[in-house]
Structure 1
């Protein structure tokens, strides 16, 4: 939206791996150097996902429902036994409500003694980090190789 505010949308990210790697905080904080930008480890703050290269985005959605559906699909794949404390449909409905209020949603858990699985939907623009531009090319404020002139 030229000259206006960017329309709220949502980017999905995920990371699964050896949870002991989460201790590498230098790769999870946006400090000088390429470590943070090149890392695939989840950032310490959810909005910092937007500082990562667009190639790390697993999906972009215009509606909270579509983003929550992706979360539910990915979570079910990585957690086939489900969550005994919160059924998937209740979790999905709650995510829709949170996203509708421009809040980020994280579904992450230990899936074994050492394996961590995390799925993240980040509101963009992000209300906690309003100065971080959208990482998706072609969106208002996003980096893009070609921008229309005039």
Structure 2
């Protein structure tokens, strides 16, 4: 698959399972001018569809906009290190190891596939971070919130 574009990083969002589970707050409305869409755009909850992050122009930052997948993956690794997943008491893995996640991100991002990492921390907070391809394959009508320099 050929894809040409750049990436935006969103997060980390940290919160409770209950907050994350409020799916109605994680979806835009059917019309751009609806109350639901305005509430969605103002929210910090991760959207149900990753391409909808691009609607949140106020949450798009220049320091989290990349033209090189290496930079996007470096950001993912840095945030992951700061918000490490909990480890099970029986030492079995609850999540893929960082090496596996990084390898997937290096493969997926150049193909135009978004990457989302979500896990519980030792404190039982839920952490979500996303690298979103721009333009989006699935939401081509959403304009870029911040073109790279």
Q: Which runs of 5+ in 2 are unaligned?
A: none
Structure 1: runs of 5 or more not aligned: 1-6, 141-150
Map 1:5-44 to 2 at 5 A: 8-14=5-11, 15-31=13-29, 32-33=34-35, 34-44=38-48
Offset of residue 116 of structure 1: 0.7
Q: 1:113 Cα deviation (Å)?
A: 7.3
1:72 corresponds to which of 68, 77, 81 = 77
* Residue 106 of structure 1, CA deviation: 0.4
Size of the aligned set, in residue pairs, is: 133
Higher relative contact order (CA 8 A, sep 6+): 2
TM-align CA RMSD: 2.4
Q: TM (normalized to structure 1)?
A: 0.78
After TM superposition, give the deviation of residue 114 of structure 1 in Å: 4.9
CA–CA separation in structure 2 for the residues paired with 1:66 and 1:56: 16
2:144 alignment counterpart: 134
Spell out the pairing of 1:87-102 with structure 2 (5 A cutoff). 87-102=97-112
Kept in 2: contact 1:98–1:105 (CA 8 A): yes
